[in-house]
A and B are shown apart, each in its own frame.
Chain A
């Protein structure tokens, strides 16, 4: 059975409230995203009848408490504790609610605050497995598993530090002029990248995202509704998710994307060669490389060569990649980081870039990845968008 997304529109991309640390709680960021999405779409608050939120810092509040907090009456709720996959998963669930008539307009939001001690507390208690089997081994959080993954990837493919640097340096160039990117005004040279302080194994400072506060969001509704509102929107050509794939692999050098990619492109009716831009989930550059391979931009193990031969900047004539700078230049606003690439792709394919616009951008593929339970990320997701 086909899992098509016909008739579904995604609109009103917002990125708000970014700050290194914040005294505001997560509800402030949820409210900021709602405020901006209503302003962007021209919809009244009463039109929002579905709410889907990804957040690590919303407790003791929750998705349903946000309805009373902000005076919403909804008939669809979704909580998305899926970190870097929460944006794509929000879109998939909201699209089904709209297609089935369970909701007409679903506000999808990834929002988190950040406090000085907040990140340590989050990673120290991330999951049962991490409490027993990861945190006691150096209290390094995700840097430990990703340093092991990066080391293994380098050994197997011949990737060099400079190859990872090409991703980080090009993303920093893409962040120029992007208001929410906390490093937009801090250019990064390859020499700075290579000389940065060591963090874990082969990982150095600029391989790691900076935890921050912020929110990302979009609205999901019918195409009919979006057209009636006269707002720019994109269609969903296909979307997939796969969790805990290849569980027997020693170290994660592939994930759910590898399992679903043929289906993703088959259902989208196009391929990687038809994409005007690529938004990967970039918690670490090695994970961006795994997505380039899995989504078919190059063969398995060939991403180092791909990034050597392909311009990744916005209008560099290659494959525009993480066109607003990604999390590596913006900061990682908790689950908001799982929405960042999707929100940016939506801006690009509707011609609404806030930084540099990919000329004539119409189609984009976005990867999601998340939840480092122990030694690997469990969630993998992707969506192909087309500007309407």
Chain B
């Protein structure tokens, strides 16, 4: 049975180990408050060795959406088309996130950390409705 790619960087291990809530956990610099993504060893703004994983504002604006019709991994190939969005988070960074619902550029969505079918951390974007995250996780075969 195939699984999505499980591999993540060592620098993201703390996120992997503490994944248990909904919401969005990213690295924030204790020196300058800059939110980081993708995960880094040190702060991209002030270069301080002061990054800590924190819950940050998950609101973001959709920049673009892509329906993938081809994948190099069997798990996704069996589930095409697969929807991915890029979003500009209010907290600063641009993220790629799995997308369960239809969305268009400019839409406001919530980005959450989740576990994909391999058990590894990932980001999921859904709308702000109360049951939209559990619904999205079910649809994407993911868990919180």
* Contact B63 A200, beta carbon cutoff 8 Å: no
Q: Closest CB-CB distance, A145 to chain B, in whole Å?
A: 8
Q: Closest CB-CB distance, B76 to chain A, in whole Å?
A: 5
> Contacts A138-B82, A140-B70, A198-B69: A152 and B105 contacting too (C-beta < 8 A)?
yes
> Contacts A144-B84, A151-B65, A152-B63: A134 and B9 contacting too (C-beta < 8 A)?
no
User: Residue B11 at the A interface, CB < 8 A?
Assistant: yes
A-B contacts counted at CB < 8 A amount to 107
* Contact A136 B120, beta carbon cutoff 8 Å: yes
> Contacts A131-B9, A132-B39, A133-B96: A140 and B68 contacting too (C-beta < 8 A)?
yes
From B97, which residue of chain A is reached at the shortest CB distance? Answer: A137
From A208, which residue of chain B is reached at the shortest CB distance? Answer: B70
- Provide the bound-state CA to CA distance between A132 and B38, in Å: 7
* Contact A197 B69, beta carbon cutoff 8 Å: yes
User: Residue A155 at the B interface, CB < 8 A?
Assistant: yes
User: Residue A309 at the B interface, CB < 8 A?
Assistant: no
B63 CB contacts on chain A under 8 angstroms:
148, 152, 250-251
From B83, which residue of chain A is reached at the shortest CB distance? Answer: A138
User: Residue B138 at the A interface, CB < 8 A?
Assistant: no
User: Residue B134 at the A interface, CB < 8 A?
Assistant: no
- Provide the bound-state CA to CA distance between A83 and B139, in Å: 37
* Contact B38 A144, beta carbon cutoff 8 Å: no
Interface centre among A132, A144, A151, A251 (most CB of B within 10 A): A132
Q: List 15 A-B contacts (CB under 8 A).
A: A120-B72, A131-B9, A133-B96, A138-B71, A138-B82, A139-B71, A140-B76, A140-B84, A144-B68, A144-B96, A149-B64, A152-B105, A155-B105, A200-B70, A201-B65
Would you list the 8 A-B pairs with minimal beta carbon distance, nearest first?
A: A139-B73, A201-B66, A133-B38, A198-B69, A148-B64, A147-B66, A138-B68, A129-B38
Mark A residues whose CB is within 8 Å of B. Answer: 119-120, 123-124, 128-129, 131-141, 143-144, 147-149, 151-152, 155, 197-201, 250-251, 374-375
Given contacts A133-B39, A151-B105, 7 further A-B pairs with CB under 8 A are: A128-B11, A132-B38, A139-B72, A144-B66, A147-B68, A148-B86, A375-B86
